[in-house]
Chain A
């Protein structure tokens, strides 16, 4: 049958209509039925701003309808895949105008996360370099996550007065044991081998083979996940070695401590472990929890625990309530303080308020999980999904 070109797509994607403008932050290359999307703000480590998120959302919607698109490849220009959402810009917007501008950004970003998680076509993300926060949200939800020698993953939000969002309460809570709580609360960095071991990644491909993999996928020109998986397998290192001191070997201790009911109990369980057997890893873990925003830790833990029992859509709706409450800043302004200390003034010395875990009451935590009391605000509206023909991969996440 003759391929039918979607007229709007042809218009938007066929030519670069922004001639003379600064380079586009999202580049798209067409190769027969494969679309290669490149995040292109290398100076900012490809941090996602509103323009990029809107563009991605638009493109993903269009490709789902477009019978000419079989496969989407996502990658980043430069030394990062994506270092996260452009939080500094969001804070700037909020300070200049209203937190609702921030809400608009997150609503688009979370919609994109949901679309990727329940996408009817395969997405292969090639994760070179840094994958953090929003960057994880733009890749982990997709079907294939290819990591490599220099991949660094982290959800560092609790150090910033935020919480792991972009659907992290869905994917982190599904990692083995209580590893997700550990990664999400401490902001621990994982390398490619660790990501593969815990399931955040589906394949490990050595750096030098990545471009060849990309070409082969383009040539294969297929949307069959089995064929795609086999192709990536051929380039893969099946058993990349975990480094000798990998935190993944500490899974037992992590389970014992991070399974506790409250953040306070987690810290005291870690301290007990430290009494028995102190080492760099334990002291780093305790330190990172003590440095993080107490409010962030508490809402994050609750978010993971709820997320484990929810579908990805419910997770994102809940996270949207949380992030809006954070930006509204009525109960805590830790997010602004964190951004100040780490991104703007860079004194690395945030003054959290409430300053201690025991000052963050259950009632305060509850407020992050209820609908906002604001007549203009409404819960996140997830994009509609096709009622049939969703792959089981997507169905199982609903």
Chain B
């Protein structure tokens, strides 16, 4: 019947047109108007600033200060689109240009004092503010974040953690002032995640009291070294240390690779890694050492030293422990990556959600306005669970930052495991979210200026650097196994890593789930703990069975990867849920707490729906899985009215989102064509 009416109306329209041809020609056709979601969406029923405070905590002011610095400088390429000014790097420029701009931006930020105290101030607050800076620069451009991260976290961190007073006194101040530029030469062509296998060799010459660094073969060339291709003057070089014919394992040395004029030093060869799929503002390079001599004092000697006469001295006898101490600087890198990933998901989601609140497609009923994208349940299902996950993972990474900056000798193991878990989970979530957001924006997602699509290639590297995610998952499982085996050996309850629930009887899952059960914190905790407990048990059983059959441990861990990965995810998810509940507990009853509860339920429900292990190992029956699936839709529709407020609370400034997040019709209007590619010159009339 509708169709008949519709046709009738169309025909009437035609006839009318003929009657009033003259009039109609003069009237412009009704166009799609941009209507800002701020005016059409309901007002937020919670305080968006309070929610942002839960995400950014103490660092909120620091973060906004950095945003301010970037928004206000012409070096950050301000462009006007649809009446607003956006900043983003010019990705349509050559690799060389992008690298040059990265350095100029760093120069500007240094001049404004943005790096003051980054390495020379000590204590948890100073470290927390360091994280905030590094991560916030990356919101503008991943290259800027990484370039700074290499210099401060990797080079600076290596000096701080692997060096001793003589190194601190000599290098930290000039590093902070950018009088020298550092890089971190660990990875080789032949060895990445397996650092202990690197092939660079360093020997000691007692007659001159110098170390001699050698690249013995092509696979030993240092590879992907950020900063090495163009700018770095100094490198922390990782190398096997051979003393009197005995290999003492991997050690780190400071080597100057360029002089003050930027010329490569003698006995050093440097080549470019070339154009990459993203991150072209960072000059990744390759380095060969041809018997490069460096002073004895350049050994970073916090755990081992070589005496002037060439004796190897170390307080830590166990080479495994020595190696673990060496890797400490990588920890801060993982924390940064986990937290930085949350920022990129926030950018992607803020853009995709804002677009979906202003873009319409198809009418459900004839002659009615087209429907807003986010009013389609399918579109909600694509984006809203990702918003919930972003909140959950952000709370967890905030926790990770806190345990990192307050780390002690006892807690460092926890930091290791938690950072591995969150680095992998957060980066996987980031890439997946960007892909979904890119698709949700349709063709607009392809335009570089709209960010979402382009961010994918910029951030892809996160999934493998500082530890391949799959390798990290297996490491978590190994660590968990070690933890419970040790507890069993000592006949003591398990303590730490949130594993205390293993000491209690296994939780019971109701045989018939209902919507209200699914939303209780008790049930959510129970099923996440059950999954972790059961997978840990299965992993333990499989490993010990194989051990009993005489297989060696390395082999066992390579063949049990499936369950190890499931366990790694189970651990991460349970940890994230616990941290979410911790945050919720700090919020007084009211609308903010309610929306947090909704987000938590969305997070747990979507994990249950998406992770096959719940069905595979029977934590959910097929009937219950159907209830879970239904609940996802319900939660989507309940979160829908909060969508705008939830992405506003991310706190990403408008200038750092893309034009499609705002008035995309004006941004694409003919009148904007003539100056669309020029960098915005004056601010006249921008108020």
Q: Which residues of A does B touch, CB under 8 Å?
A: 140-141, 170-171, 174-178, 196, 198-200, 202, 255-256, 259-261, 265, 305-306, 308-309, 311, 385-390, 392-393, 395-396, 398
Contact = CB atoms under 8 A, between A and B. Distances in A.
Contact of A392 (B34, B112, B654): B34
B520 interface: no
Q: Which of B34, B36, B73, B84 has the most CB of A within 10 A?
A: B36
Contacts, number: 82
A200 B687 contact: yes
Nearest to A318: B49
Given A171-B687, A395-B34, A387 B40 contact: yes
A396 B82 contact: yes
A392 B72 contact: no
Nearest to B666: A392
A306 B653 CA distance: 10
B139 to A, nearest CB: 12
Contacts of A386: 39
A175 B683 contact: yes
Nearest to B47: A371
A273 to B, nearest CB: 13
A393 B683 contact: no
Q: Which of B33, B36, B39, B687 has the most CB of A within 10 A?
A: B687
A395 B112 CA distance: 33
Contacts of A174: 683, 686-687
B547 interface: no
Contacts of A306: 64
B120 interface: no
B662 A177 contact: no
B263 interface: no
Given A202-B685, A395-B36, A308 B83 contact: no
Contact of A388 (B35, B685, B687): B35
Given A176-B682, A199-B682, 12 more contacts: A199-B686, A256-B111, A259-B68, A261-B113, A308-B653, A386-B39, A392-B34, A392-B666, A395-B34, A395-B36, A395-B663, A396-B84
A176 B683 CA distance: 7
Contacts of A389: 33
A388 B32 CA distance: 11
A309 B82 contact: no
27 contacts: A140-B687, A175-B683, A176-B72, A198-B683, A199-B683, A199-B685, A199-B687, A200-B687, A202-B685, A256-B112, A260-B112, A261-B113, A305-B64, A305-B68, A308-B71, A308-B72, A309-B64, A385-B39, A388-B33, A388-B35, A390-B36, A392-B34, A395-B34, A395-B36, A395-B663, A396-B84, A396-B662
B516 interface: no
Interface of B: 33-36, 38-40, 64-65, 67-69, 71-73, 82-84, 111-113, 653-654, 662-663, 666, 682-687
Interface of B is mostly: loop
B355 to A, nearest CB: 15
Interface of A is mostly: loop
B66 to A, nearest CB: 10
B72 A309 contact: no
Contacts of A260: 112-113
Nearest to A176: B683
A241 B424 CA distance: 59
Nearest to B665: A392
A308 B67 CA distance: 9
Nearest to A265: B113
Given A259-B72, A309-B653, A388-B35, A202 B684 contact: yes
Nearest to B685: A202
Contacts of A255: 72-73
Given A260-B112, A387-B39, A390-B39, A309 B666 contact: no
A146 B261 CA distance: 52
A49 to B, nearest CB: 26
B112 A398 contact: no
Contacts of B111: 256
Contacts of A259: 68-69, 72, 112
A308 B73 CA distance: 13
B86 to A, nearest CB: 11
B420 to A, nearest CB: 34
Contact of B83 (A177, A178, A393): A393
A199 B78 CA distance: 15
A198 B685 CA distance: 9
Nearest to B40: A387
Nearest to A144: B685
A389 B40 CA distance: 12
A343 B687 CA distance: 31
Contact of B72 (A177, A200, A311, A388): A177
Nearest to A396: B83
A387 B683 CA distance: 28
Given A256-B112, A305-B65, A392 B684 contact: no
Contacts of B67: 309
Given A305-B64, A309-B67, A396 B683 contact: no
A141 B682 CA distance: 18
Contacts of A177: 72-73
Given A256-B111, A260-B112, A396-B82, A178 B72 contact: yes
Nearest to A175: B683
Nearest to B84: A396
Contacts of B662: 395-396
Contacts of A171: 687
B539 to A, nearest CB: 47
A388 B39 CA distance: 9
A259 B684 CA distance: 21
A177 B68 CA distance: 10
A259 to B, nearest CB: 5
